[in-house]
Amino acid sequence: MDGDVVISAEEIVDAAVVDERPIIKEPESVEMTKGATSTVTNIPDKDPLFVPFGNFSDVETIFKSEMFYPIYVTGLSGNGKTFMIEQAAAKAARELFRINITIETDEDDLLGGFRLVNGETVWFDGPVIEAMRKGAILLLDEVDLASTKIMCLQPILEGKGVFLKKINEFVECAAGFNIVATANTKGKGDDTGNFIGAGVMNEAFLERFPITVEQEYPTNAVEKKILGKVFDKLNLSDNEFIDKLISWADIIRKTYMEGAIDELITTRRLVHISNAYSIFNMDRMKAITMCVNRFDEETKTAMTDLYTKVDGSPDLVTEPKLETETETTESDDDNDCPF
């Protein structure tokens, strides 16, 4: 037709503008996968060997109140700090989550993190978050071994909950949630050399614990009940040995407190000795010697010598002598040296 402009196919191709930019697709909504929360009830079992003493009733009262009231329990090694807390939770029928703190413990260990499950990343709550959701008791065992990474617990120690930034979720403390920490020191470090790794803790962290419980070793009467239960469980009947052990340990502890010796005998070690006594055919000295071998030679010798004086039994078995080859008494010429 007249007046119409005719454009060839070649001209159309030449005039086309090709956009080489990558095509941007709208992101698909991604739903994060969470691991299942544990449905196991973590109420500790009541231990028939436990004998309540010290601040046990106070801790039990706090647990039964179901108030948020953090407790810091301090004391020397082997005097039953953790055992007391577990048994207080058992008696109060409260769930308990125990975390053993080390210098490597971090936010991932405490609050949770992503784990690879069947090729996909899955979020799992840490023990702190599980305890918070369940309104359970959180036990931070050996807390003075921690680094500053434990400061992620600051808002939780205030009872205000915590924001999990990795999954954009705020977790509140359920009713009944509480925190208990145990330590060999009061968070000011250790200058005795007995608790290597115990550091100076952040003052703001320590200040969030309303009360501090000082756990002492049990009295002689209580310790006699403890060993009596252990002996009964082992089918042993030797009250005299129990009395000797308690007197021996008491002397060593008093000497330790006076600064005259660097080591002491804990309640836990007395239980170890009781078990060894059962295993090694009621050999008192062998049981004691094997259980104090962990100390340096001078301390070990002082402790075993002290026990022999405390016991005073004429038939007390001493450390076994090394077996030697029987000397030959034959005088035959064949046995004479040929040179």
More confident residue, 31 or 212: 212
pLDDT of residue 321: 40
Residues 294 and 168 in one domain: no
Segment 217-238 mean pLDDT: 98
Segment 269-290 mean pLDDT: 98
Q: Is the model's pLDDT at 148 over the cut of 70?
A: yes
171, 191, 214 - which closes a domain? 214
* Three-state SS letters, the chain: CCCCCCCCHHHHHHHCCCCCCCCCCCCCCCCCEECCCCCCCCCCCCCCCCCCCCCHHHHHHHHHHCCCCCEEEECCCCCCHHHHHHHHHHHCCCCEEEEECCCCCCHHHHHEEEEEECCEEEEEECHHHHHHHHCCEEEEECHHHCCHHHHHHHHHHCCCCEEECCCCEEECCCCCCEEEEEECCCCECCCCCCCCCCCECCHHHHCCCCEEEECCCCCHHHHHHHHHHHHHHCCCCCHHHHHHHHHHHHHHHHHHHCCCCCCCCCHHHHHHHHHHHHHCCCCHHHHHHHHHCCCCHHHHHHHHHHHHHHHCCCCCCCCCCCCCCCCCCCCCHHHCCCC
pLDDT of residue 41: 83
- Structure confidence by residue, pLDDT tens digits, 92-129: 999 999 999 999 999 999 999 999 999 999 999 999 99
183, 214, 245 - which closes a domain? 214
Q: Is the model's pLDDT at 14 over the cut of 60?
A: no
Residues 82 and 174 in one domain: yes
pLDDT of residue 249: 98
Residues 264 and 182 in one domain: no
Looking at the domain assignment, is residue 19 inside a domain? no
Q: How confident is the model at residue 6 (pLDDT cuts 50, 70, 90)?
A: low
Q: Is the model's pLDDT at 29 over the cut of 70?
A: no
Residues 115 and 170 in one domain: yes
Residues 110 and 241 in one domain: no
pLDDT of residue 213: 98
pLDDT of residue 260: 94
Residues 134 and 185 in one domain: yes
Residues 180 and 227 in one domain: no
pLDDT of residue 24: 42
Q: Is the model's pLDDT at 20 over the cut of 70?
A: no
Residues 89 and 195 in one domain: yes
| Model pTM score | 0.82
pLDDT of residue 316: 75
Residues 267 and 299 in one domain: yes
Residues 136 and 203 in one domain: yes
Q: Is the model's pLDDT at 334 over the cut of 60?
A: no
Segment 293-317 mean pLDDT: 91
pLDDT of residue 5: 54
- Say which range, 168-177, 180-189, 316-325, has the weakest mean pLDDT: 316-325
Looking at the domain assignment, is residue 198 inside a domain? yes
Residues 55 and 188 in one domain: yes
Looking at the domain assignment, is residue 124 inside a domain? yes
170, 186, 214 - which closes a domain? 214
Q: How many domains does the chain have?
A: 2
Looking at the domain assignment, is residue 20 inside a domain? no
Q: How confident is the model at residue 193 (pLDDT cuts 50, 70, 90)?
A: confident
Q: Is the model's pLDDT at 155 over the cut of 50?
A: yes
What CATH number corresponds to the domain at position 49? 3.40.50.300
Structural domain harbouring 111: 40-214
Q: Do residues 70 and 210 touch, judged by C-beta distance below 8 A? A: yes
Q: Is the model's pLDDT at 210 over the cut of 50?
A: yes
Q: Is the model's pLDDT at 219 over the cut of 60?
A: yes
Of all residues in the chain, the percent with pLDDT exceeding 90 is 78
Looking at the domain assignment, is residue 328 inside a domain? no
Looking at the domain assignment, is residue 286 inside a domain? yes
Q: Is the model's pLDDT at 287 over the cut of 70?
A: yes
Looking at the domain assignment, is residue 171 inside a domain? yes
Residues 233 and 283 in one domain: yes
Looking at the domain assignment, is residue 123 inside a domain? yes
Segment 295-302 mean pLDDT: 97
pLDDT of residue 38: 64
